[in-house]
Amino acid sequence: MSSINDLWHSLSPRTIAVDCPWTSALLLILGSVSLGQFLLKALYVFTQTFLLSGTSLKKFGAKKGAWAVVTGASDGIGREYALQLAKAGFNILLVARNQQMLATLAEEISTKYGPSVTARVQLIDFAQNSEAAFQSLATVIESLDVGVLVNNVGKSHEMPVDFIDTPPAEIADILTINITGTLRLTSIVLPIMKKRRGGLILNMGSFAGAVPSPMLATYSASKAFLTTFTAALAPEVAPYGITVQHLNTFFVVSKMSKLRKPSPLVPMPSTYVKSVLSKVGLSCGAAFTGRPGTATPFWSHAVADWLIGSVGWVSLFVGYTHRMHKDIRRRALAKKAREAKKA
């Protein structure tokens, strides 16, 4: 027992400070540096999220005749991007597959903001990956002075599902829409932005890309791809005045999320888009983890991103996500069973 007490005494902070002053000083310095770094990063995150304003949209051609190209514009977040960018003074090219919804939105934009703002419609089904459709879209875009591209079009799984049970068509659609569609649109728009020496590209991401998400494996991987793609592309085009940002996004009220009621963690599309457009060029919640090109602009998403980065225990969040998705799938299957029984 005395030997244990002696060992404990020898390892006590007071003993180390007296008997090993250099070791004590080194530990104190390292601890102070680590604490200082943590506090500085936290201050950086909270200052960007709650105090600073992002780059003005005027830099990218707002109210100067420039165009904003918005994919997946027929509903939800994409629709809000179109409305708010039109309000900011951009002409809008609405890109999606639903002609009726796009036509209605174009008419709404023209009624609210015309004649100073023009809205046009271009139909394309990104899941088809049609070369003719992309060529037609490129012909239209190449005639415009594009200042903003919002790569918003996306697809997730119908419900959480193990990869082995995921329908091949669903896998193909997710990869084609989320990855190929973004790459093709970006490659069409970049030469225009390079020529005009400026532009803004927003790639819609997800927390599922930051934290590997079991039972959404394909979707999670597609969003992780966008994180790396943005981080690699951003420094390539920065010398031409082009800003590229990957938006790390938690839940938003939308058809994709299947959430209908807003909460502090789940904003309405209008609230979310407003936060994005007010924080252009700032990392906000993503600043703590140092992911180049990534931003988490909405305040509660930013705090959540900061907390995840602070903890740094990714397997903990993977396990939580897996349990959550198992529960979501159980409830979704039960709902389908009830609906089938009523039918």
Would the annotation count 263 as a binding residue? no
The DSSP bridge partners found for residue 204 are: 247
199: left (phi over 0), alpha (psi -120 to 50) or beta: left
- Whether 113 is a known active-site residue: answer no
**One of 44, 81, 113, 219 is an active-site residue; which one?**
219
**Given CA atoms 48, 53, 59, 63 in this order, what sign does their dihedral have?**
positive
- Rounded Cα–Cα distance for residues 284 and 270 (Å): 19
Helix (H, G, I), strand (E, B), or coil: what is residue 297? coil
Q: Which two tokens stand for residue 180?
A: 């190929």
Contacts 24+ apart (CB under 8 A), 95-101: 95/69, 95/70, 95/71, 95/122, 95/124, 95/137, 95/153, 95/185, 96/71, 96/72, 96/123, 96/124, 96/153, 97/123, 97/124, 97/125, 97/126, 98/74, 99/123, 101/74, 101/75
- Rounded Cα–Cα distance for residues 54 and 48 (Å): 9
Q: Which phi and psi (to 5°) does residue 275 adopt?
A: -65, -40
- Rounded Cα–Cα distance for residues 255 and 158 (Å): 11
Query: What is the total residue count of the chain?
Result: 343
Catalytic amino acids?
219
Residues making up the binding site for substrate = 206
